[in-house]
Structure 1
Amino acid sequence: MNETTKEFLKKNYNINDKIIKLYEKAIIDVEPLLRELDDIREYNQLKVLNAMQEERISESHFTNSTGYGYGDIGRDSLDKVYARVFNTESALVRPHFVNGTHALGAALFGNLRPNDTMLSICGTPYDTLHNIIGINGKKNMGSLKDYGVKYKQIDLLSNGKLDIESIEKAIKEDASIKLIHIQRSTGYGWRNALLVEDIGKIISKIKSIRPEVICFVDNCYGEFIDTKEPTDVGADLMAGSLIKNIGGGIAPTGGYIVGKKEYVENASYRLTTPGIGGECGSTFGVMRLLYQGLFMAPHVSIEALKGAILCARLMELSGFEVLPKYNDKRSDIIQSIKFNDKEKLINFCKGIQKGSPIDSFVECEPWDMPGYEDQVIMAAGAFVQGASIELSADAPIREPFIAYLQGGLTFEHVKIALFIALSKVLN
């Protein structure tokens, strides 16, 4: 960092020399790791480029359909591009998914029937899935439980690894298990994200016992962090959000489901209705943004990942416990910071908000957010509301007061926002 930049930070953001020195130490430690990520970015960029070329994408695919949306070539061709990128039989990519939870819900409701059992092998899923599954005690919401779908879970081991012995035992003893839910990302937990290679190993083990079981992966925050995706190592079905990695910070909304044709088609009947599925759905002129966002996604995802690595080292040097460690192998863009202090947690999130390009003047506060069981604070000064591929930080207000930082369209922005957030915490 040159002297001009330092002076600008001091004058305009009141950043002191202590924080700048912490950064200078951190950047030396992480620079070799950041350079290694460029190989992953290059491979995934090539993969996306080739998929678009093979599907002969042109300006004619940037359609603006209305009404039923029959014959929308932009929509249908984007499905084919996604299927190529994820190495799957089929894909359903739609702006009509309001978030990743909606896409996950469509996949679950589309493929589970009364008396089937869903088995979660990563412990309790992300908070917003609790209503879908029906494990929050609320009745008559139309949850899977209300429709007679049973639920079981196997917690992770104390070291954060999958409990393979218990998983094997469960699928051997319970013939009603139809779908196994694998959450790649950390969510609001204190663990490392599951590596793609580990997901592949457990899927291989499951299939050797019960080949017919659907292995379903929640891929939110994980796209383009590795050269392989879970569908490359045996996942039957996978879903995620377009305002996370895969949308490149450009997609204005939406979600995707990819996998085997039968399972994707079943999911499409829960996005629209049985018998119509993905054949309908006008796209409101957003197709260019969805294509362009996908094209930018390999680059942007690695920028966010670089920011997470810097955050880990900077917060470690400042005396806080983090997960993953700055030099851990990663499988998502989320960085967890344990504050053990409510006010420090809130101040960190407020600092990220203050470092945002949009709504930097806003003070974020904890609030009762739909779908969450605790109050949640969310810092998200984003061009696309709630887009967590853009820099954001959020946390449930519960002990031990862990903040979850993710996103960043550029590494430089993450760096500046971290200066402001850390300054707010330490001061």
Structure 2
Amino acid sequence: MQLSSQLQHYEQLVEDQIAVEVRGIEKIAERNQWKVIQAFQKHRVSDYHFAGSTGYGYNDRGREVLDEVYADVFGAEAGLVRPHFVSGTHTIATALFAVLRPGEQLLYISGTPYDTLHKVIGKEGDGAGSLRDWGILYDEVALNDQDNIDWEAVEKAIRPETKVIGTQRSRGYGWRASFTVEQIAEMVKRVKQIKPDVIVFVDNCYGEFTEQSEPTEHGVDIMAGSLIKNPGGGIVATGGYIVGKKCYVDKAAQRLTAPGIGSEVGAMLGTTRSIYQGLFLAPSIVGQAVRGSVFAAALFEKLGFLTSPKWTAPRTDLIQAIRFHSADHLIAFVQGIQKASAVDAHVVPEPWDMPGYEHPVIMAAGTFMQGGSLELSADAPIREPYTAYMQGGLTYAHAKLGALIAVQTMIDRNLLTIE
């Protein structure tokens, strides 16, 4: 698709505008790259660690060292990194089921969690094996009018049976700012003052390597994420990770496999090399994606659209939310992102009833890995206010191209005029 001369002019204006922000992003990527390399060196990662295992996977030293490397990178006591996690939702569910028992309460203090977790929480007696079906209580505290934690309401919501305080770092399908590591550290401090024995859980999806430290370096007890997002570096085909205090990670391992088996088995089936290499690449590629999000924010702000975060705002995840004037604008944007893909650029996405979501969703995902959210993608529920969520880009050039072609698609459909 040919970009109009006016749009090419905007491209250059935005490039010049974001130059200072880009330097800061590159510095964070550099420091995180050093941290990963140091963890590899500490554990003497070698070629023989990449060998695949079969059957039970006994004595798989590569798998064992991988857990240790992840623990060090995330500043945690222990790690559990496996291709057997089928998604971020599965990884989060494993962590929550591991540390909660019937009669105990999970309390989310960051508002309603991401749509796919709703069925994990479930409804009492739903028969689906949800948390509530197992007699685990659930409650949540909405954010205040400034989209910050409502501490007065949190104090009232914490009860003797409250076992786990949950926080979702990323905005999900929300307009609020994602929570920074500094903000999460403050959450840990305050909830531990209220109830010292409470377990703090963080859904870290989309947040890894966007800052120079991770939540588990600041007191979070257990944390989960997906390998087809940031830490997989765009090359890991499937999987997830759980890091945190050893006692809780051990329980998660028992939940993933079976009591008495835990993390000591599990054939890696040839995935080990890519998981190591993906982690090595992740800081640099996350930096590319964050830079692309800043470009998109600056471009769409210049064109008169609302964005969150704004291009000058600190970044703590990959997601760039853009609010449009109508469903037509939103659909054109997502379809434009698809047109910019190297894979399936000829496919035209349409809204559909996606499993786990409450509204029709339109999704652009011309990715090498199905659902790979570190790759350039965009999705949006078809509901007001019409907000699209763009994330990823294995290279900055691709992320930038996606934003530009999305704008050009709106221009070609007479939905947008620029001078």
TM-superposed CA distance for 1:170, in Å, is 2.4
Gaps spanning 5+ residues in structure 1: where? 1-12
TM-superposed CA distance for 1:397, in Å, is 1.2
Partner of 1:180 in structure 2?
Answer: 165
Distance 2:125 2:241 in 1: 28
- Residue of structure 2 aligned with 1:126, choices 114, 122, 134: 114
- Residue of structure 1 aligned with 2:398, choices 395, 402, 413: 413
Give yes or no for the alignment of 1:84 onto 2:72: yes
Which string of whole-angstrom CA distances, capped at 9 and with x for unpartnered residues, describes residues 373-417 of structure 1? 111111010111110000000011111111000000110111112
Partner of 1:236 in structure 2?
Answer: 221
Partner of 1:62 in structure 2?
Answer: 50
Partner of 2:407 in structure 1?
Answer: 422
Partner of 1:345 in structure 2?
Answer: 330
Which string of whole-angstrom CA distances, capped at 9 and with x for unpartnered residues, describes residues 223-266 of structure 1? 00111110111100000000111111111110000001111111
Partner of 2:342 in structure 1?
Answer: 357
Partner of 1:274 in structure 2?
Answer: 259
Which string of whole-angstrom CA distances, capped at 9 and with x for unpartnered residues, describes residues 22-62 of structure 1? 22221121111011112111111111000000000000001
Q: What amino acid does structure 2 have at the position aligned with 1:254?
A: G
8 A Cα contact 2:125 2:132, kept in partner: no
Distance 1:21 1:251 in 2: 37
Give yes or no for the alignment of 1:210 onto 2:195: yes
Which string of whole-angstrom CA distances, capped at 9 and with x for unpartnered residues, describes residues 94-152 of structure 1? 000011111000000111100100000011000000000015x8811110000000111
TM-superposed CA distance for 1:169, in Å, is 2.9
TM-superposed CA distance for 1:167, in Å, is 1.5
Q: Bigger CA drift: 101-110 or 274-283?
A: 274-283
Distance 2:253 2:349 in 1: 36
- Residue of structure 1 aligned with 2:8, choices 20, 44, 47: 20
Distance 2:125 2:104 in 1: 20
8 A Cα contact 1:304 1:406, kept in partner: yes
TM-superposed CA distance for 1:209, in Å, is 2.3
Give yes or no for the alignment of 1:316 onto 2:301: yes
TM-superposed CA distance for 1:343, in Å, is 1.2
Distance 1:249 1:120 in 2: 30
Q: What amino acid does structure 2 have at the position aligned with 1:158?
A: D
Distance 1:248 1:216 in 2: 24
8 A Cα contact 2:125 2:133, kept in partner: no
Q: Bigger CA drift: 88-97 or 154-163?
A: 154-163
Distance 1:223 1:198 in 2: 15
8 A Cα contact 1:192 1:330, kept in partner: no
Partner of 1:155 in structure 2?
Answer: 142
Give yes or no for the alignment of 1:112 onto 2:100: yes
Partner of 2:27 in structure 1?
Answer: 39
8 A Cα contact 1:245 1:389, kept in partner: yes
Moved over 3 A (4+): none
- Residue of structure 2 aligned with 1:141, choices 128, 146, 153: 128
Secondary structure at 1:146 match in 2: helix
CA RMSD for the aligned pairs?
1.1
Partner of 1:6 in structure 2?
Answer: none
Q: What amino acid does structure 2 have at the position aligned with 1:45?
A: Q
8 A Cα contact 1:164 1:202, kept in partner: no
Q: What amino acid does structure 2 have at the position aligned with 1:380?
A: A
Distance 1:63 1:119 in 2: 41
For 1:251-290, what aligned pairs fall within 5 Å after superposition? 251-290=236-275
8 A Cα contact 1:43 1:227, kept in partner: yes
Partner of 1:98 in structure 2?
Answer: 86
Partner of 2:151 in structure 1?
Answer: 164
Partner of 1:10 in structure 2?
Answer: none
Partner of 1:224 in structure 2?
Answer: 209
Secondary structure at 2:156 match in 1: helix
Secondary structure at 1:151 match in 2: strand
- Residue of structure 1 aligned with 2:287, choices 291, 298, 302: 302
TM-score normalised to structure 1 length: 0.95
Secondary structure at 1:350 match in 2: helix
TM-superposed CA distance for 1:273, in Å, is 1.2
8 A Cα contact 1:323 1:336, kept in partner: yes
Partner of 2:416 in structure 1?
Answer: none
Partner of 1:379 in structure 2?
Answer: 364
Secondary structure at 2:133 match in 1: coil
Identity %: 51
Distance 2:384 2:403 in 1: 23
Secondary structure at 2:223 match in 1: strand
Partner of 1:4 in structure 2?
Answer: none
Which string of whole-angstrom CA distances, capped at 9 and with x for unpartnered residues, describes residues 326-384 of structure 1? 00111101000011311111111111111001011111111111111111111010111
Partner of 1:200 in structure 2?
Answer: 185
* Count of aligned pairs: 412
Partner of 1:8 in structure 2?
Answer: none
Secondary structure at 1:28 match in 2: helix
Q: What amino acid does structure 1 have at the position aligned with 2:349?
A: C
Secondary structure at 2:142 match in 1: coil
8 A Cα contact 1:22 1:318, kept in partner: no
8 A Cα contact 2:297 2:311, kept in partner: yes
Distance 2:149 2:285 in 1: 30
Q: What amino acid does structure 2 have at the position aligned with 1:300?
A: I
Which string of whole-angstrom CA distances, capped at 9 and with x for unpartnered residues, describes residues 180-228 of structure 1? 1010001011111101101101111111221210000000000001111
Partner of 2:17 in structure 1?
Answer: 29
